[in-house]
Structure 1
Amino acid sequence: MTHTRMTWQAFRSQLEKYPEQILQFQYAADKLVAPSYHITEIKQAPITSVDCGGKINTWTEIIVQLWEPEQPQTSRAMAVNKALKIVDLVEKNIDLHPNAVVKIEFGNAAFDTRQLYPGEFLLEGENLVVNLQPDATQCKATDRGATCGTPKKQTMEAAESCTPGGGCC
Protein backbone atom coordinates (compact mmCIF):
# COMPACT_ATOMS: atom_id res chain seq x y z
CA MET A 1 0.00 0.00 0.00
CA THR A 2 1.47 3.33 -1.03
CA HIS A 3 0.66 6.17 1.30
CA THR A 4 1.25 9.85 0.72
CA ARG A 5 3.28 11.09 3.63
CA MET A 6 2.18 14.37 5.17
CA THR A 7 4.73 17.06 5.93
CA TRP A 8 4.90 18.92 9.22
CA GLN A 9 3.83 22.13 7.46
CA ALA A 10 0.76 20.45 5.94
CA PHE A 11 -0.14 18.77 9.26
CA ARG A 12 0.10 22.02 11.20
CA SER A 13 -1.87 23.88 8.49
CA GLN A 14 -4.70 21.35 8.77
CA LEU A 15 -4.85 21.85 12.54
CA GLU A 16 -4.80 25.65 12.19
CA LYS A 17 -7.93 25.53 10.00
CA TYR A 18 -10.00 24.08 12.87
CA PRO A 19 -8.78 25.58 16.19
CA GLU A 20 -12.12 25.19 18.00
CA GLN A 21 -12.73 21.55 17.04
CA ILE A 22 -12.03 18.66 19.41
CA LEU A 23 -8.94 16.74 18.28
CA GLN A 24 -9.44 12.99 17.98
CA PHE A 25 -7.12 10.33 16.54
CA GLN A 26 -8.49 7.15 14.97
CA TYR A 27 -5.84 4.41 15.12
CA ALA A 28 -7.92 1.52 13.74
CA ALA A 29 -11.40 1.00 12.31
CA ASP A 30 -13.87 2.51 14.81
CA LYS A 31 -11.11 2.88 17.45
CA LEU A 32 -10.29 6.34 18.80
CA VAL A 33 -7.46 7.19 21.16
CA ALA A 34 -9.08 7.69 24.59
CA PRO A 35 -10.22 11.31 25.08
CA SER A 36 -7.96 11.68 28.13
CA TYR A 37 -4.84 11.32 25.92
CA HIS A 38 -1.88 13.62 26.33
CA ILE A 39 0.61 14.81 23.72
CA THR A 40 3.66 13.83 25.75
CA GLU A 41 6.35 15.00 23.35
CA ILE A 42 7.12 16.04 19.83
CA LYS A 43 10.39 14.63 18.52
CA GLN A 44 12.38 15.68 15.46
CA ALA A 45 14.48 12.81 14.16
CA PRO A 46 16.98 13.25 11.33
CA ILE A 47 17.42 9.86 9.63
CA THR A 48 20.46 8.71 7.65
CA SER A 49 20.42 5.23 6.17
CA VAL A 50 22.19 3.14 3.55
CA ASP A 51 19.92 0.95 1.43
CA CYS A 52 20.67 -2.49 0.01
CA GLY A 53 22.05 -0.91 -3.18
CA GLY A 54 24.58 1.12 -1.19
CA LYS A 55 22.82 4.47 -1.65
CA ILE A 56 22.71 6.90 1.27
CA ASN A 57 19.22 8.19 2.08
CA THR A 58 18.42 11.10 4.40
CA TRP A 59 15.16 12.55 5.62
CA THR A 60 13.66 14.03 8.75
CA GLU A 61 10.68 12.80 10.72
CA ILE A 62 8.59 14.62 13.30
CA ILE A 63 6.99 12.22 15.72
CA VAL A 64 4.04 13.33 17.86
CA GLN A 65 3.71 10.96 20.80
CA LEU A 66 0.27 10.31 22.29
CA TRP A 67 -0.23 8.68 25.68
CA GLU A 68 -3.38 7.34 27.33
CA PRO A 69 -3.22 7.52 31.12
CA GLU A 70 -4.36 4.38 32.95
CA GLN A 71 -6.90 6.39 34.94
CA PRO A 72 -8.89 8.56 32.50
CA GLN A 73 -8.95 12.16 33.69
CA THR A 74 -11.52 13.53 31.27
CA SER A 75 -14.25 12.31 28.96
CA ARG A 76 -13.55 14.97 26.35
CA ALA A 77 -10.43 15.16 24.18
CA MET A 78 -8.38 18.34 23.91
CA ALA A 79 -9.34 21.11 21.53
CA VAL A 80 -7.14 21.65 18.49
CA ASN A 81 -6.06 25.05 19.86
CA LYS A 82 -4.64 23.33 22.98
CA ALA A 83 -2.65 20.97 20.76
CA LEU A 84 -1.40 24.01 18.82
CA LYS A 85 -0.24 25.59 22.10
CA ILE A 86 1.87 22.49 22.71
CA VAL A 87 3.23 22.78 19.16
CA ASP A 88 4.07 26.46 19.76
CA LEU A 89 5.92 25.55 22.97
CA VAL A 90 7.95 22.92 21.11
CA GLU A 91 8.69 25.30 18.23
CA LYS A 92 10.05 27.89 20.69
CA ASN A 93 12.72 25.33 21.56
CA ILE A 94 13.27 23.42 18.31
CA ASP A 95 13.14 24.61 14.69
CA LEU A 96 10.87 21.89 13.33
CA HIS A 97 11.62 21.17 9.69
CA PRO A 98 8.52 22.15 7.64
CA ASN A 99 9.07 19.37 5.07
CA ALA A 100 9.69 16.62 7.62
CA VAL A 101 7.46 13.55 7.46
CA VAL A 102 4.91 13.44 10.31
CA LYS A 103 4.26 10.31 12.31
CA ILE A 104 1.96 9.81 15.27
CA GLU A 105 3.32 7.41 17.89
CA PHE A 106 0.67 5.62 19.89
CA GLY A 107 -0.09 2.43 21.71
CA ASN A 108 -2.31 1.17 24.50
CA ALA A 109 -3.13 -2.13 26.23
CA ALA A 110 -5.00 -3.38 23.15
CA PHE A 111 -2.76 -1.86 20.43
CA ASP A 112 1.01 -2.33 20.33
CA THR A 113 2.91 0.96 20.25
CA ARG A 114 3.80 1.98 16.71
CA GLN A 115 4.24 4.99 14.51
CA LEU A 116 1.36 5.75 12.16
CA TYR A 117 0.94 8.34 9.42
CA PRO A 118 -1.80 10.95 9.56
CA GLY A 119 -4.16 10.35 6.68
CA GLU A 120 -7.51 12.05 6.21
CA PHE A 121 -8.69 14.82 8.51
CA LEU A 122 -12.43 14.33 8.95
CA LEU A 123 -14.89 16.83 10.40
CA GLU A 124 -17.47 14.91 12.43
CA GLY A 125 -19.68 17.32 14.35
CA GLU A 126 -17.45 19.16 16.85
CA ASN A 127 -14.60 16.68 16.25
CA LEU A 128 -11.63 16.88 13.93
CA VAL A 129 -10.68 13.23 13.50
CA VAL A 130 -7.19 12.42 12.24
CA ASN A 131 -7.38 9.02 10.57
CA LEU A 132 -4.05 7.28 11.21
CA GLN A 133 -2.60 4.89 8.65
CA PRO A 134 0.00 2.15 9.13
CA ASP A 135 3.22 2.05 7.16
CA ALA A 136 4.78 -0.91 5.37
CA THR A 137 8.41 -1.77 4.87
CA GLN A 138 9.80 -1.18 1.41
CA CYS A 139 12.97 -1.47 -0.61
CA LYS A 140 14.19 2.03 -1.47
CA ALA A 141 16.25 0.66 -4.37
CA THR A 142 13.02 -0.22 -6.22
CA ASP A 143 12.17 3.49 -6.17
CA ARG A 144 15.19 3.94 -8.46
CA GLY A 145 14.00 1.22 -10.85
CA ALA A 146 16.06 -1.59 -9.34
CA THR A 147 14.50 -5.02 -9.12
CA CYS A 148 16.47 -5.86 -5.98
CA GLY A 149 17.62 -9.00 -7.79
CA THR A 150 14.35 -10.80 -7.18
CA PRO A 151 11.16 -11.33 -9.14
CA LYS A 152 8.05 -9.48 -7.97
CA LYS A 153 6.94 -12.46 -5.86
CA GLN A 154 10.05 -13.54 -4.02
CA THR A 155 10.25 -17.08 -2.73
CA MET A 156 11.57 -17.82 0.74
CA GLU A 157 14.48 -19.72 -0.86
CA ALA A 158 15.45 -16.65 -2.91
CA ALA A 159 15.20 -14.42 0.15
CA GLU A 160 17.49 -16.71 2.13
CA SER A 161 20.13 -16.68 -0.59
CA CYS A 162 20.35 -12.86 -0.70
CA THR A 163 23.73 -11.62 0.46
CA PRO A 164 24.95 -8.11 1.26
CA GLY A 165 26.20 -6.40 -1.89
CA GLY A 166 24.58 -9.09 -4.03
CA GLY A 167 22.15 -6.64 -5.64
CA CYS A 168 19.02 -7.81 -3.83
CA CYS A 169 17.29 -6.36 -0.76
Structure 2
Amino acid sequence: MKTLSGLLHDLQLQDPSLPLVFETKEGEISPGYHVTELRHSSSRGIDCGGNIEAWQEAKLQLLEGLGATHMSVGKFNSIVSKSLSAMPELKHVSLKVEFGHDNKDLRLMSLSSPEHRGNHVVIRLGSIRAVCKPTETARREEGRIGQCCKREETSANPSSCYSTTKLLESANSCCA
Protein backbone atom coordinates (compact mmCIF):
# COMPACT_ATOMS: atom_id res chain seq x y z
CA MET A 1 0.00 0.00 0.00
CA LYS A 2 1.48 3.33 -1.09
CA THR A 3 0.84 6.24 1.30
CA LEU A 4 1.52 9.94 0.85
CA SER A 5 4.14 9.93 3.62
CA GLY A 6 5.77 6.89 1.98
CA LEU A 7 5.81 8.63 -1.39
CA LEU A 8 7.30 11.77 0.18
CA HIS A 9 9.98 9.66 1.88
CA ASP A 10 10.86 7.93 -1.41
CA LEU A 11 11.03 11.24 -3.26
CA GLN A 12 13.23 12.84 -0.60
CA LEU A 13 15.88 10.29 -1.59
CA GLN A 14 15.91 11.76 -5.12
CA ASP A 15 17.66 14.87 -6.46
CA PRO A 16 15.13 17.70 -5.83
CA SER A 17 16.17 19.54 -9.00
CA LEU A 18 15.23 16.67 -11.33
CA PRO A 19 11.92 16.76 -13.22
CA LEU A 20 9.19 14.50 -11.79
CA VAL A 21 7.40 12.63 -14.55
CA PHE A 22 4.18 10.67 -14.02
CA GLU A 23 3.66 7.97 -16.62
CA THR A 24 0.69 5.79 -17.59
CA LYS A 25 0.59 2.92 -20.09
CA GLU A 26 -0.62 5.53 -22.61
CA GLY A 27 2.48 7.67 -22.04
CA GLU A 28 3.81 10.51 -19.92
CA ILE A 29 1.61 13.13 -18.35
CA SER A 30 2.56 16.24 -20.28
CA PRO A 31 4.90 18.91 -18.90
CA GLY A 32 3.12 21.60 -16.93
CA TYR A 33 0.87 19.14 -15.10
CA HIS A 34 -0.77 20.54 -11.99
CA VAL A 35 -1.56 19.02 -8.59
CA THR A 36 -5.19 20.10 -8.41
CA GLU A 37 -6.18 18.41 -5.17
CA LEU A 38 -5.10 16.17 -2.34
CA ARG A 39 -8.19 14.67 -0.75
CA HIS A 40 -8.81 12.55 2.34
CA SER A 41 -12.01 10.58 2.62
CA SER A 42 -13.59 8.03 4.90
CA SER A 43 -15.61 5.32 3.22
CA ARG A 44 -17.91 2.58 4.37
CA GLY A 45 -19.08 -0.25 2.16
CA ILE A 46 -20.65 -3.67 1.94
CA ASP A 47 -19.24 -6.32 -0.37
CA CYS A 48 -20.97 -9.14 -2.27
CA GLY A 49 -20.48 -11.44 0.73
CA GLY A 50 -22.39 -9.10 3.05
CA ASN A 51 -19.23 -7.95 4.86
CA ILE A 52 -19.28 -4.34 6.02
CA GLU A 53 -16.02 -2.48 6.35
CA ALA A 54 -14.77 1.06 6.79
CA TRP A 55 -11.53 2.58 5.51
CA GLN A 56 -9.80 5.85 4.85
CA GLU A 57 -8.01 6.85 1.69
CA ALA A 58 -6.15 9.71 0.07
CA LYS A 59 -6.39 10.82 -3.53
CA LEU A 60 -3.93 12.93 -5.47
CA GLN A 61 -5.58 14.55 -8.48
CA LEU A 62 -3.41 15.60 -11.41
CA LEU A 63 -4.41 17.89 -14.26
CA GLU A 64 -2.55 17.59 -17.54
CA GLY A 65 -0.82 20.86 -18.38
CA LEU A 66 0.52 22.89 -21.24
CA GLY A 67 3.90 23.82 -19.79
CA ALA A 68 7.37 23.42 -21.23
CA THR A 69 8.85 21.47 -18.29
CA HIS A 70 7.76 18.92 -15.73
CA MET A 71 7.47 19.94 -12.09
CA SER A 72 10.66 19.32 -10.14
CA VAL A 73 10.86 16.67 -7.44
CA GLY A 74 11.56 19.49 -4.95
CA LYS A 75 8.47 21.49 -5.90
CA PHE A 76 6.26 18.40 -5.71
CA ASN A 77 7.76 17.54 -2.30
CA SER A 78 7.02 21.08 -1.11
CA ILE A 79 3.36 20.78 -2.19
CA VAL A 80 3.01 17.41 -0.45
CA SER A 81 4.80 18.60 2.73
CA LYS A 82 2.57 21.68 3.03
CA SER A 83 -0.50 19.54 2.43
CA LEU A 84 0.54 17.04 5.11
CA SER A 85 1.10 19.88 7.58
CA ALA A 86 -2.39 21.23 6.91
CA MET A 87 -4.08 17.80 6.76
CA PRO A 88 -2.06 15.22 8.75
CA GLU A 89 -4.80 12.62 8.20
CA LEU A 90 -3.44 12.27 4.64
CA LYS A 91 -0.17 10.75 5.86
CA HIS A 92 -0.75 7.06 6.47
CA VAL A 93 -3.78 6.04 4.43
CA SER A 94 -3.86 4.28 1.08
CA LEU A 95 -3.01 6.68 -1.75
CA LYS A 96 -4.41 6.62 -5.28
CA VAL A 97 -4.07 9.08 -8.17
CA GLU A 98 -6.96 10.52 -10.15
CA PHE A 99 -5.97 11.40 -13.70
CA GLY A 100 -7.09 11.31 -17.31
CA HIS A 101 -5.00 12.15 -20.38
CA ASP A 102 -6.17 15.34 -22.09
CA ASN A 103 -8.11 15.96 -18.85
CA LYS A 104 -10.81 13.53 -20.00
CA ASP A 105 -12.02 10.21 -18.63
CA LEU A 106 -10.73 10.70 -15.09
CA ARG A 107 -9.51 7.35 -13.74
CA LEU A 108 -8.37 6.10 -10.37
CA MET A 109 -4.82 4.74 -10.57
CA SER A 110 -2.16 3.12 -8.39
CA LEU A 111 1.39 4.45 -7.98
CA SER A 112 4.74 2.73 -8.26
CA SER A 113 7.80 3.77 -6.30
CA PRO A 114 9.75 6.61 -7.90
CA GLU A 115 12.67 5.52 -10.05
CA HIS A 116 15.58 7.56 -11.35
CA ARG A 117 15.65 7.31 -15.16
CA GLY A 118 18.27 9.32 -17.00
CA ASN A 119 17.77 12.98 -16.15
CA HIS A 120 14.37 12.65 -14.48
CA VAL A 121 12.41 10.75 -11.82
CA VAL A 122 9.48 8.63 -12.99
CA ILE A 123 6.40 7.44 -11.11
CA ARG A 124 4.39 4.89 -13.08
CA LEU A 125 0.62 4.99 -12.66
CA GLY A 126 -1.18 1.68 -13.06
CA SER A 127 -4.70 0.49 -13.61
CA ILE A 128 -6.84 -0.68 -10.74
CA ARG A 129 -9.28 -3.53 -11.25
CA ALA A 130 -12.41 -4.55 -9.44
CA VAL A 131 -12.12 -7.58 -7.16
CA CYS A 132 -14.44 -9.79 -5.16
CA LYS A 133 -13.26 -9.02 -1.62
CA PRO A 134 -14.54 -12.25 -0.03
CA THR A 135 -12.64 -14.25 -2.65
CA GLU A 136 -9.47 -12.22 -2.17
CA THR A 137 -9.72 -12.82 1.57
CA ALA A 138 -10.29 -16.54 0.98
CA ARG A 139 -7.23 -16.72 -1.26
CA ARG A 140 -5.14 -15.21 1.51
CA GLU A 141 -6.54 -17.57 4.13
CA GLU A 142 -5.33 -20.92 2.86
CA GLY A 143 -7.97 -23.53 2.25
CA ARG A 144 -10.96 -21.32 3.02
CA ILE A 145 -13.64 -20.42 0.50
CA GLY A 146 -15.15 -16.94 0.77
CA GLN A 147 -18.78 -16.24 1.56
CA CYS A 148 -19.77 -15.39 -1.99
CA CYS A 149 -18.38 -18.71 -3.14
CA LYS A 150 -20.58 -20.71 -0.72
CA ARG A 151 -23.83 -19.31 -2.04
CA GLU A 152 -25.97 -21.04 -4.57
CA GLU A 153 -27.38 -18.96 -7.39
CA THR A 154 -31.08 -19.18 -7.98
CA SER A 155 -31.44 -16.27 -10.38
CA ALA A 156 -32.04 -16.90 -14.07
CA ASN A 157 -29.17 -14.48 -14.78
CA PRO A 158 -26.48 -15.29 -12.22
CA SER A 159 -23.72 -12.76 -11.60
CA SER A 160 -20.14 -13.88 -12.05
CA CYS A 161 -19.70 -13.71 -8.27
CA TYR A 162 -22.61 -15.98 -7.44
CA SER A 163 -22.49 -18.34 -10.43
CA THR A 164 -22.76 -21.86 -9.01
CA THR A 165 -20.96 -23.33 -12.01
CA LYS A 166 -17.92 -21.10 -11.60
CA LEU A 167 -17.85 -20.63 -7.86
CA LEU A 168 -18.54 -23.86 -6.12
CA GLU A 169 -15.61 -25.52 -7.88
CA SER A 170 -12.93 -23.49 -6.09
CA ALA A 171 -12.12 -20.11 -4.57
CA ASN A 172 -9.60 -19.55 -7.35
CA SER A 173 -12.34 -19.24 -9.94
CA CYS A 174 -14.66 -16.97 -7.94
CA CYS A 175 -15.22 -13.61 -9.58
CA ALA A 176 -12.55 -14.31 -12.18
Q: Shorter-normalised TM-score: what interval?
A: 0.7 to 0.9
Q: How does 1:20-169 map to 2 (within 5 A)?
A: 20-29=17-26, 31-69=27-65, 72=66, 74-109=67-102, 112-145=105-138, 146=146, 148-149=148-149, 157-159=157-159, 162=162
- Gaps in structure 1 of 5+ consecutive residues: 163-167
Structure of higher RCO (CA pairs closer than 8 Å, 6+ residues apart): 1
Larger CA Rg, structure 1 vs 2: 2
Matched residues in 2 for 1:86 and 1:161: separation? 42
Greater CA drift, 52-61 or 76-85: 52-61
- Gaps in structure 2 of 5+ consecutive residues: 139-145, 163-173
Matched letter for residue 17 of structure 1: L
Q: Which has the higher strand share?
A: 1
Matched residues in 2 for 1:76 and 1:128: separation? 13
* Change beyond 3 A, Cα 1:27–1:111: farther
Q: CA RMSD in A?
A: 2.8
- Count of residues in Structure 1 that have an aligned counterpart in Structure 2: 153
Q: Is the 8 A contact 2:64 2:103 kept in 1?
A: no
* Change beyond 3 A, Cα 1:21–1:160: closer
What percentage of aligned pairs have identical amino acids?
26
Offset, 1:92? 2.6
Offset, 1:150? 7.4
* Change beyond 3 A, Cα 1:101–1:160: closer
Normalising by structure 1, what TM-score?
0.78
Matched letter for residue 24 of structure 1: V
Normalising by structure 2, what TM-score?
0.75
Matched letter for residue 123 of structure 2: V
